[in-house]
Amino acid sequence: MHKPVRALTVVSVILTGLCVQDGGAEGETGTQFLERYEEEALLKLNASKKAAWQQKSNVSDENKAAYVRASLDLAKFKQEMKEEGTVFLFEKSGGLSYYEKRRLYKIARIGTSAQTDKTKLGRLYTIVAEMEKIYAEAEVCMEGSCLKLDPGLTELMRSSRDCQKLSDVWRGWRDQSGKKMKQLYREYVQLSNEAIRLHQYDDLGSQWRSEYEVMDVEKKVVNLFDQVLPLYLHLHSYVRRKLKARYGSESFPSTGHIPAHLLGNMWSQTWINIADLVKPFKNKQMLDVTNELKKQGYTPRKMFQTAEDFFYSLGFDNMTHNFWEKSMLERPEGREVVCHPSAWDMNKQDDFRIKMCTTVNQEDLLTVFRKMGHIHYYMQYKNQPLGYRQAANQAFPDAVGDSIALSMLTPGHLKSIGLLDAEYEQDEEADINFLMLMALDKIAFLPFGFLTDQWRWSVFRGDTPPEKYNDEWWKLRCRFQGISPAVKRGADDFDPSAKYHVAANLPYIRYFLSHVIQFQFYKAACERAEHTGPLYKCDFYNKKAVGEGFKSMLQLGWKEIWPTAISKLTGRYRIETVALMEYFQPLLDFLKKENGEDYGWEENCPKEPPPCNARRLETPISTVGLFVAIGVAVGRLRLRVVLV
């Protein structure tokens, strides 16, 4: 993404056509209006955040109603402030600085809160709350017991190697979550678009993309995806071959796709949980600290303290008293909660929280670092005016925490904190095992992160009508991800909303971008730490120069456009894939040799999902070798995915 011109010149056209009325107290200047807005907005936002926290950490009809009331109250305030603020932005802007105009522009951007019909707006908020409630309460019952997503179903998808059981759980979760939301989502799209068009956008997707303050966001994202696609293609092919050896070729479609239920994750978005099945060198240890975390008695709180210690070593502050007192770090007993991890800025100087149903394992340890990155971002820009108290780019917060987690997860650092055997051998084969583990987390995610909002942007534009919601979702997943459904899907199914971010109306392209940017941040940090050697071995723990580089970017918040912010750390003004490809280059070289010409998949989904191979149900991993030669198809060149 190239450096854009100053943000106001790019996006001011969005505000053209707003109804500008007399605003502000008599004789009030734009500067005085901003001061008044700041004082009133902080109170309104804090009240709204408290209601949202209650609704998600204690799911009930009462809290849902309170959340809707608080949201409506905040929307009314935003509408009033927009009317007053646009007067100063367009008619009384004399004497105002660029930065004051940028704050006024932020006040004028109110999203779906532009809807002045209180009934429609209230219904919109209610729909989102209802979809979240369905998601939180969904459970799959089988073999005499019922399991919720976290930790029950997530753990089953992670640990089971029973093809049929995984298929049943995969289908059951979608029946109990997404399928129940389809009509609600259809209404949500209609109401959201109606509201956003009052704000001079074509549809909700165009408003989401405008947050990046650059032109042609869709084209730039496709270009980035095209650059990392070769690495994903080879990872996919290698993993497919290993899984065929475990489950039998009969359990895989001839199109080259991998059935979605066999990848260790409810959405096949990361594959780290099948590392034991795809480990390149069986005689070398695979870096997984889950057992060691449990052996040493780690608790969710200790996992967060481990992350706090790493950030502190770089010169960041420790967490506040309120963080430890008010965060929800484990799933509570006796009430329903939305377990999806989230970080919260309550718009008070010392109230920052995380909500997460943490499980003691390596995967959640990485999530802890990611969410702590959000909190440190909040703490760094907390002294900025309210309009600047958000990330310069929506992808930055996750990328900050993930880039620091890349350093934490190096074998050298894990040894230093006692989470990895001192005898762990670091040679070329061990390095490939390590990079495979990281790729199963980072690279496997890229197409899912890319396609989720490709689907939603199409829905918001009207290109994908409700009767084709599910069909188009799977067309994208088969085409870009090489993943096919576990069982046959129909028009009544609604698999997109089986993913929390769709049910909760959270933009998703930020996660694709963050998976690219984190390596850019990581490389810049390693250069500040004067690291030598392969990038993937860099540990910058206790390097204050690294912390200073991060803080110079984070403290800006939204004051500067994101290319300026990213340059503070990296010296570059755009998002690049160079660091990501450098990190994984040894693995890519290995995969190319292993795969030869057998990689890729057909663009279209298979007509029928293959059944599980009954002979392999509950086959112990140690006996897989007995069946490797059975049902192995002759290798063939797959059709390569072509982006258009």
Local structure of 36: helix, strand or coil: helix
| DSSP state letter for 265 | S
Contact 107, 37 (CB under 8 A): yes
Q: 140 forms bridges with which residues in the sheet?
A: 147
Binding residues for chloride: 212, 510
Q: Which residues contact 200 (CB under 8 A, 6 or more apart)?
A: 14, 15, 16, 17, 18
**Within 10 Å of residue 230's Cβ, how many Cβ atoms?**
15
φ, ψ for residue 147, nearest 5 deg: -125, 135
Strands, DSSP E only, in 66-208?
139-142, 145-148
The answer to whether the CB of 274 falls within 8 A of the CB of 239 is yes
Cα distance between residue 264 and residue 266, in whole Å: 7
Is 540 within 8 Å of 310 (Cβ atoms)? Answer: no
d(CA 373, CA 314): 13
At position 374, the amino acid (one-letter code) is: H
How far is 499 from 505, CA to CA, in rounded Å?
10
Integer CA distances (angstroms), 284 to 23, 295, 384, 432, 530, in order: 69, 21, 50, 10, 30
Check the CA dihedral 551-557-562-565 and report its sign.
negative
- Cα torsion 169, 171, 174, 177: sign: negative
Q: Distance between CA 382 and CA 246 in Å, rounded?
A: 51
Between CA 202 and CA 404 the distance in angstroms is 38
Burial class (CB in 10 A: 0-12, 13-18, 19+), 601: buried
- Spatial neighbors of 634 by CB under 8 A, at least 6 apart, are none
Q: Please enumerate, by residue number, every residue annotated as part of a binding site for Zn(2+).
A: 374
Give, in order, the Cα–Cα distances in Å from 383 to each of 42, 321, 377, 524, 555.
Answer: 13, 18, 12, 26, 8
- Which of 599, 603, 602, 580 minimizes the C-alpha distance to 591? 599
DSSP letters of 211-224? TT-SS-HHHHHHHH
d(CA 511, CA 428): 31
Residue type, 139: E
